[in-house]
Every structure is written in structure tokens, then in C-alpha cells.
Structure 1
Amino acid sequence: MKTPIYQIFGSENSLDVDLVFFVEEMPETIVEKLSLSKELTDSIKANFPEKVINANLAVCKNGRLIEVYKGTTDELNNSLFYTYGFHQQEYDNQINTLLKRDIDLKFLRSTRMILSFLSKTEYRAAVKSALRSDLEEKIQTLEKIDLNQISSFGKNTNYQDILKSIAFQLGQSISLHEGNELYTKNQIAESFPELRKYLFREENCDCENLQNYLLKFAVILKNRMPKMPKFSEYKYEELNKFNCAG
């Protein structure tokens, strides 16, 4: 199989390589998507001998994404556009049209991700119940979490990596609520200096600032909830019909 065009995106100082392969058609099943992603990753490993490749798949038409394997179409589309120049690229920027961001969808996705990060902590029972339940219970569970009391996120899980991931999701979501799109660690750290130490995986730091942002996130979500069209995750394409920014 010929390796399709691919594009690197995300933070300029990321420890891994986040990239997207542009495919003509998205495989139908999760197994097929995973298999294709692995096959394509293997085909370019020699280009990144010192890095771990985090690969995604996307279908691009007329300069914008119309379907993605992982993540949401609007976030990946705009991240590819905005962070293109931060990396040494093999191909021209495939994205020339920005998509209007779906803020509610971002909060729904971030809520699930953050709770999933906590699923192997002492909050396991409450978190697993919330992940199976409605948005109201998810918010109530977030409000009960005290990150200062968590000493481990599970076996074979790096503590600083999880704090970084939580900080990244919180920073992105809150900034989007405030009208700003942020796609790199540096951008989030500049906008929210209190999150810097988590974003850059500093060791032996307390979680007080991160805890405050988690509670702020929960308050924003609770206030957004009455006007949200859906309370569970959906595909961007279902509600947005590819609304273009500007």
C-alpha cells in the first residue's frame, strides 16, 4: 500500500509525534481503522527513529476535514491548520478552511476523558458509575474529585503524564468557552500560567491549581448544560453541517 499524505500537528515541543494520515475513505469498523492506522504508522517509522508516533486517520475534501478516526472533526481540522508551521512537514498544508468550533461537544468529550483518567484511582466506583450515567451525574462526580488526594492513577501509568493530559483538556475547554482556540502546551501555559507546571510534567508539585481549574470547568459545564442540544457525545457532522469559521 502506498503511504498517503500525512501531516504533523500539535505542540512544537511534544515528546511524541502526533500526525494524521489523509485517506480517501474511512474504514467502517474500529478494528479496520486501528489496523490501517498501525500499518501506515509502520510504513513511516524510519522517518521518526527517536519518537513514538500517535497516528490518526482523516478524510479531507475541499481543504477541510469531513470525517476523523479519533477526536472531533472541528478540533483536528483547526489544529492541523494552526500548528502546521510548528513542524517540519513533508507535504503542503492540506487544510485551508477553518471549521466553527462546537464548544458543547468539546466539553462533553473532555468530561469523558478526564473521568476516564480517574477510573483507576480511589474514585474508581464513582467514576465508573458516572461514565455509564448521564451528564448531571458526570458533573456531580467531577465536583467530588479532589486531585490533591490522588497519589496514583493506576499501575504502569505515569503520574505526571496524566496531570499533563488533564491540564491540557481543562485549558483547551475553558479557553474555548472564553472564545479562544489553543492547540499547544505553550499556548495553554501562556494563557493559564497556573497550569504550566502540569503541562510540562514538573515533578513533586501539588495539585491545588489543577483542582481549582477542574472545579471551574465543572461550573462552566453546569451553566452551559441548560442550552446544550445533546448531553452525550456525538459526531461533529451530526449537528454542524460543516459550518465554516468566519
Structure 2
Amino acid sequence: MKPSIYQIFGSENSLDVDLVFFIEKIPETIVGKLALSKELSQSIVSFFPEKVINANLAVCKNGHLTEVYKGTTDELNNALFYTYDFHKQKQENQIVKLLVRDVDLKFLRSTRIILSFVSKTEYRVLVKNALKGNLSEKINVLEKLDLTKIISFGKGKNNNDIIKSIAFQLGQCMALQENKELYTKNQIAEHFPELRKYLFREENVNLNDLQKGLLYFVELLKTRSLNMKKTFEYRYKKKTILTTQNNCAVAFESLFKGKN
């Protein structure tokens, strides 16, 4: 097999290895995508003997991503660029151009992700219907969620992992609302200290602050939805390419302040 070109991205202290394999064309079927992802991961597993590899696939042209398997093109593109130096890489940074973020798309995707995380809880009937419904239905169910009362996120699920993932999605969305792009646990924890304990999987913590973050996210989503051109998930369309590459990890005040 031809040596794979891949790039690690994300948090510098991640428990797993998040990476992207650069390929010429994304397979058309889910089965094909999974098979190729597994095959490519197997080719480098010896380099990460004690880590779980979370692999993604992407097409890169002219210094930026044009198509991805998982996630959205703009988020993955910019995450690869901004977190490149946080990891020991085998190739130079494949991403030399940033993509304009589609904030509405991020909010829509995070809405689905958060609902999916609670689909095995006592809210499963409401969530199942909401995931099939429109954005208004999804918002109504999000407003009814009380994360502080959830004992288990489902059989075989690791509560701390799911709590961490919810906190990560909330932090990214709240930061984007202020035109800040955050791609690591450390960055989000710095800007939203209330989320730190969830991001770093601390044991036996209450979820009061996570619930506050969820309710604030819902308020932001409701406001954004009034001006959304599309209220369902869609494929990212390339906007203006950013040639000026400024570091966006700038400190700002926690959005939790004054919202108790």
C-alpha cells in the first residue's frame, strides 16, 4: 500500500488520536468510507500502540479541504490548520488556507449531536421524534432536557465521555457566536472555566454549569434560527478563502458571567 498522508489534529492532550487521511476521492457509500478508513488506520496502528485512532477522510486541493467524510469541511479545515503544531507530525501542514466558518451550520449540527447523546436516556421518545422533526421541534426538546437529572446516558456508554463531548460542542458554539474559533479542550476551558471539569472528565461533579451552558446555547440557537436561510443540516459551500492566517485563540470573558 502506498504510504498514507495524514495529519493529526485537535487537543494536544487528547486520550485518543484524531487524524485525517488525505485521499483523492471520498467513497460514495458509507460502507466504502468505513472500509477505507479502517484500512488506512490499520496501516499506521503500529505508530500509536497505546492509542485509539479516530480517523477521518478528506480531499485537499489548493491548500484547503474541499470534501470530508465526517463533520463539516470548514471546521475540519481550520482545526487542522490551527492545531497542527500541537502534535508531532510526519508531513508539513497540508492546510495553508482557512475557510470562512458557517456558524449556522455548526449550530444545526451541534443540535443534532447533543440530542443524539441523550437518545438512550429517559428522554429517548422525545429525542427520537425531534431528530426526525424540524428545527422548532428540536429546540422544544432541548428546552425540556435537564442534564442534572440524567443518571446514565445508556447501557455501555461512558457518562464522562458524553458529558465531555456535550461540553465541547457547547463551548465551540458559544465561542463562534463571538467570532472565536476554539479547537481544543484547553482553549475551551480557558475561555469557559465553568466547562473545565467536564472537558477533563472530572469524577463526581454536578452538571449544573453544563445545564446552564445548554440553556444558553438554546437561547442563541432560537435567536439565530430567526434569520437562518436553512433550518436543516446541509453540505458546506465554500465562501471566501481567507488568505490572512491570524491566530484566533484570543482570551475573552466567559459568557456565563451575568447569566446565573
TM value normalised by structure 2 = 0.92
Count of matched residue pairs:
243
Name the structure 2 match of 1:7.
7
User: Is the 1:3–1:40 contact (alpha carbons within 8 Å) kept by the matching residues of 2?
Assistant: no
Name the structure 2 match of 1:115.
115
Distance in 2 separating the partners of 1:203 and 1:4: 38
| Secondary structure of residue in 2 paired with 1:57 | strand
Name the structure 2 match of 1:59.
59
| Secondary structure of residue in 1 paired with 2:121 | coil
Name the structure 2 match of 1:142.
142
TM value normalised by structure 1 = 0.97
Distance in 2 separating the partners of 1:219 and 1:195: 18
Task: Say yes or no: does 1:81 pair with 2:81.
Answer: yes
Task: Say yes or no: does 1:164 pair with 2:182.
Answer: no
Distance in 2 separating the partners of 1:218 and 1:244: 30
Q: Which has the higher helix share?
A: 1
The alpha carbon displacement at 1:29 in A equals 1.0
User: Is the 1:66–1:242 contact (alpha carbons within 8 Å) kept by the matching residues of 2?
Assistant: no
Task: Say yes or no: does 1:31 pair with 2:28.
Answer: no
Task: Say yes or no: does 1:243 pair with 2:240.
Answer: yes
- 1:242–1:25 CA distance, 2 compared to 1 (3 A): farther
Distance in 2 separating the partners of 1:21 and 1:243: 25
| Per-residue Cα deviation, 1:22-51 (whole angstroms, up to 9, x for no partner) | 001111111111100000000000000010
Matching residue's letter, 1:219: E
The Cα RMSD (Å) is 0.7
Structure 2 runs not aligned, ≥5 long = 245-260
Matching residue's letter, 2:240: N
Name the structure 1 match of 2:175.
175
Matching residue's letter, 1:84: Y
| Secondary structure of residue in 2 paired with 1:189 | helix
Task: Say yes or no: does 1:96 pair with 2:96.
Answer: yes
| Secondary structure of residue in 2 paired with 1:101 | coil
The alpha carbon displacement at 1:107 in A equals 0.2
Distance in 1 separating the partners of 2:222 and 2:239: 26
Matching residue's letter, 2:116: S
| Per-residue Cα deviation, 1:185-219 (whole angstroms, up to 9, x for no partner) | 00000000000000000010000000000000000
Distance in 2 separating the partners of 1:242 and 1:102: 9
Name the structure 1 match of 2:16.
16
Distance in 2 separating the partners of 1:14 and 1:46: 18
Name the structure 2 match of 1:214.
214
| Secondary structure of residue in 2 paired with 1:56 | strand
Distance in 1 separating the partners of 2:181 and 2:103: 10
Aligned runs of 1:221-240 on 2, under 5 Å? 221-237=221-237
Name the structure 2 match of 1:204.
204
| Per-residue Cα deviation, 1:42-97 (whole angstroms, up to 9, x for no partner) | 00000000100000000000000000000000000000000000000000000000
